[in-house]
Amino acid sequence: MLRPEALSHPLTPVLRQVRADSCPERFNFHCHTICSDGSFHPEHLADEALAIGLEHLAVTDHHALAAHGAIASAFEARRRRGEPAPVLWRGVEISCLLEGCLVHVLGLGFAEEHPSLHPYLQGTSVVGPALRAEAVVAAIQAAGGLVLLAHPARYRLPHQRLIAAAADLGFDGAEVWYDYAMRPRWQPTELVCEAIAADLERRGLLMSCGTDTHGLVLHGR
């Protein structure tokens, strides 16, 4: 079940709307820029999001927040002209150890420049005790963010085991709708994603979606 803080988080009602067809036209909570290992300049990613007509976006560079300001400025400039722009949520992708397996965690909707996250925003993965999943969960939640396990079926351990361990540690949910086949145009991998969705629904946890874009089109990876 969700923490009280997660129940009242402003992003939670949005994530409750996520369905198999939400991405990439309405929601995208996982994508990258040149501020980590992506190809998009932040301004160009903003242009692409506006062209698609996204409603909600989170840019989740690895261990970096540098893209957020430029994208927020581009969206605000669009609104000042009386035109629609996506709601931009602060996001980051952090590496950690869960069940002894190196996984990626999405932190979404957290406070800017919170001290708890400073070790995780230096451009590279941390080492030592701070690499453990419980430490990452505590840091994101202390900053007021939601904690979601990224692409649960991409690791060396089964997604069932990882989701169970994540739930025990207080994760708020996981990325459900994901293109594990990495096709040119994003499309969720039905059987795997549906199994993950059923697991999270049974646990009362949140579901997210994203293209995990590293290239120059937000419709694909």
Other CB atoms within a 10 A radius of the CB of residue 87 amount to: 14
What integer pLDDT is reported at residue 216 of this predicted model? 94
Phi, psi of 216 (to 5 degrees): -115, 20
Which residue type is seen at 197? A
Amino acid at 177: W
pLDDT of residue 183: 93
pTM higher than 0.95 for the full model? Answer: yes
pLDDT of amino acid 215: 95
The answer to whether 44 and 18 have CB atoms below 8 angstroms apart is: no
CA 126 to chain centre: 19
pLDDT for 26 equals 98
Go through the domains of the chain in sequence order and give each one's CATH number.
4-9+23-209 (3.20.20.140)
Spans in the chain with pLDDT lower than 50: none
Residue with tokens 């996204």: 54
